[in-house]
Structure 1
Amino acid sequence: MIEAHSLTKRYGAKTAVDAIDFTVRPGLVTGFLGPNGAGKSTTMRMIVGLDRPSDGSVTVNGKPYAQHRAPRHQVGALLDARAVHPGRSARNHLLAIAATHRIGKKRVDEVIGITGLESVARQRAGGFSLGMGQRLGLAAALLGDPATLILDEPVNGLDPEGVAWVRVFLRSLAAEGRTVFLSSHLMSEMAQTADHIIVLGRGRVVADAPVGEILAGAGAGTVRVRSPRAEQLAGILETEGGAVTLVESDVLSVTGIDAERIAELAAAAGVVVYELTPIAGSLEDAYMALTRDEVEYHTTQTLAEENR
């Protein structure tokens, strides 16, 4: 479990993390989202003792990271997959880490197998692709068989098969009762992997809820309606307090009225309806809505506008 209480980090006049509180619980995959500059990496660095909080505290499994006698057995972290000596082989890199943490060679071979590095284990890490580097970083995080995993963009550079493997693997670790905390900019992947989401914006928590709850608010009850008398139906729905957009000549997008009520109103008016589809919001929709006012740098001109 990871617990943050009023966790704060300042760099001079800039507050990168602003008195945040959150709990990352065991048995769940918790996603950590936010725009660039929101404070995600700084928060992760404070969790594993690489940055010292200006105020507040953060503990892992009941203690600050530095107070654990065998931290690698408590926490496995992947924060920068490039932090590898390029002249070392993957296996020697893992052996060096293992030796400094009293971890046996058998476990090194186990994590090489778990992460699919057998064929390149004796190759120099400097020649690895981005995806192979990610696998090596994940292998290092797993060395101590930790109760808690903290992963920053773990699927960056992986091919689709690798991404799917990470998803299944992380969910299996959570199913064992471990704490899994990961950040990613791949919203579709996060939606399939995470059980719970924490969103940061400008150093503050703007959302902390189960994925289902966040998704429930993303669609805002939108219903797609197709009818040959779409304009007539639009007037009826607007009278009932619905917000209606004519998407095509025979297609409406309706919010504020659920599908059942739309069906009842259409039937009462004798309007034929060919389609009535509730639209589920995506995690990307929810994320964009939550962080709309939290982005540090905004694009002011679209490519289409630029080319006019």
Structure 2
Amino acid sequence: MITAENLTKRYGAKTAVDDVSFTVRPGQVTGFLGPNGAGKSTTMRMIVGLDRPTSGHTTVGGTDYRHLKAPLREVGVLLDAKAVHTGRSARSHLRAMAATHGIPARRVDEVIELTGLTSVAGKRAGKFSLGMGQRLGIASALLGDPHTLILDEPVNGLDPEGVRWVRQFVRYLAAEGRTVLLSSHLMSEMSQTADQVIVLGRGKVLADAPLSELVRSWTTSQVRVRSPRAAELADRIAGDGVTVTSAGAGLLDVAGLPADRIGDVAAAHGIPLHELTPTTGSLEEAYLALTGESVEYKTKEIA
């Protein structure tokens, strides 16, 4: 379990993390989301003792990370895949890390195979592609077979097979009862991976909820209706709290009325239906609605 209590970090006049509190529980994948500059990486760095909080504190498994006797065996961390001696091979890098904790060489071979690095294990890390570098970073995080994993953008640069592997693997680890904190800017991927979502914006916690609850709270459910008498049906179902939008010839998007009620109205008036499909919002839509006022670096919208 990871806990953060009233965590604050200031750099001069700038407050990067502002009174942040949350708990990352074992047995589930917790997504850590937020715009660039929201404070995610700073928070992760404070959890693992790379940055000292201005105030507040964090623990991993009930202990300050700096007081862990064997950090690699308890917490696997990927914050910067480039943090490796570029002249060393992948195998040499992992063996050097393993030596600091008395981890046997066979475990190095295991994580090399597990992360798909076998064919390049003897190659210098400085020659790695972005994706191979990410795989080496993940291998480093897994080296001590830790109970807790903290991964910052682990799928960055990976090919589709690698992205799917990361998704399936972190879910497997969570199912084993481990604690997984995972950051990503890929909303479509996070929607398939995370159980719980923590969203930061301008250094503050904007949301901390199950993914399904977050999407339900910040998006609007609709029903896609297709009928040759769509205009007549639109008149029949109109009312307070109901929004009907034409989505094309014979096509309606209806908000504020469930599919079964729309079907009942259509049947009562003999209106044929060719489609009646409930749709729900996406994590991306919920995220954008939630963080709209917290984006520090905004781009110009394209008309």
Fold agreement, TM-score > 0.5: yes
User: 1:127-167: per-residue Cα shift (whole Å, max 9, x none)?
Assistant: 11111101110111111111100000111111111111111
Q: Secondary structure at the match of 2:272?
A: coil
Q: How does 1:94-105 map to 2 (within 5 A)?
A: 94-105=94-105
Aligned-partner residue type, residue 69 of structure 2: R
Structure-1 residue corresponding to 2:80: 80
User: 1:15-60: per-residue Cα shift (whole Å, max 9, x none)?
Assistant: 1111111110111111111111111101110110011111111110
Please report how far the alpha carbon of residue 214 of structure 1 lies from its aligned counterpart in structure 2 after TM superposition: 2.1
Structure-1 residue corresponding to 2:189: 189
Contact 2:244 2:253 in 1 (8 A): yes
Structure-1 residue corresponding to 2:253: 253
What runs of 5+ residues in structure 1 fail to find an aligned partner? none
Contact 1:221 1:258 in 2 (8 A): no
Contact 2:116 2:135 in 1 (8 A): yes
Please report how far the alpha carbon of residue 232 of structure 1 lies from its aligned counterpart in structure 2 after TM superposition: 2.3
Contact 1:131 1:157 in 2 (8 A): yes
TM-score, normalised to structure 2, is 0.96
Contact 1:218 1:280 in 2 (8 A): no
Contact 1:59 1:65 in 2 (8 A): yes
Please report how far the alpha carbon of residue 219 of structure 1 lies from its aligned counterpart in structure 2 after TM superposition: 4.5
User: 1:242-275: per-residue Cα shift (whole Å, max 9, x none)?
Assistant: 0111111211111111111111222233332221
Please report how far the alpha carbon of residue 116 of structure 1 lies from its aligned counterpart in structure 2 after TM superposition: 1.5
Q: Secondary structure at the match of 1:45?
A: helix
User: 1:182-209: per-residue Cα shift (whole Å, max 9, x none)?
Assistant: 1011111111111111111111111111
TM-score, normalised to structure 1, is 0.94
Structure-1 residue corresponding to 2:294: 294
Contact 1:24 1:30 in 2 (8 A): yes
Structure-1 residue corresponding to 2:24: 24
Please report how far the alpha carbon of residue 296 of structure 1 lies from its aligned counterpart in structure 2 after TM superposition: 1.1
CA distance in 2, matches of 1:98, 1:218: 45
Structure-2 residue corresponding to 1:43: 43
CA distance in 1, matches of 2:128, 2:78: 17
Once the two structures are aligned, what percentage of the paired residues are identical?
66
Aligned-partner residue type, residue 16 of structure 1: A
Aligned-partner residue type, residue 261 of structure 1: R
Structure-2 residue corresponding to 1:55: 55
Structure-2 residue corresponding to 1:149: 149
Structure-2 residue corresponding to 1:6: 6
Aligned-partner residue type, residue 195 of structure 1: D
Contact 1:217 1:281 in 2 (8 A): no
Aligned-partner residue type, residue 62 of structure 2: G
Contact 1:221 1:257 in 2 (8 A): no
Aligned-partner residue type, residue 287 of structure 2: Y
Please report how far the alpha carbon of residue 218 of structure 1 lies from its aligned counterpart in structure 2 after TM superposition: 5.0
Please report how far the alpha carbon of residue 231 of structure 1 lies from its aligned counterpart in structure 2 after TM superposition: 2.0
The CA RMSD measured in Å over matched residues stands at 1.4
Q: Secondary structure at the match of 1:87?
A: coil
Please report how far the alpha carbon of residue 90 of structure 1 lies from its aligned counterpart in structure 2 after TM superposition: 0.5
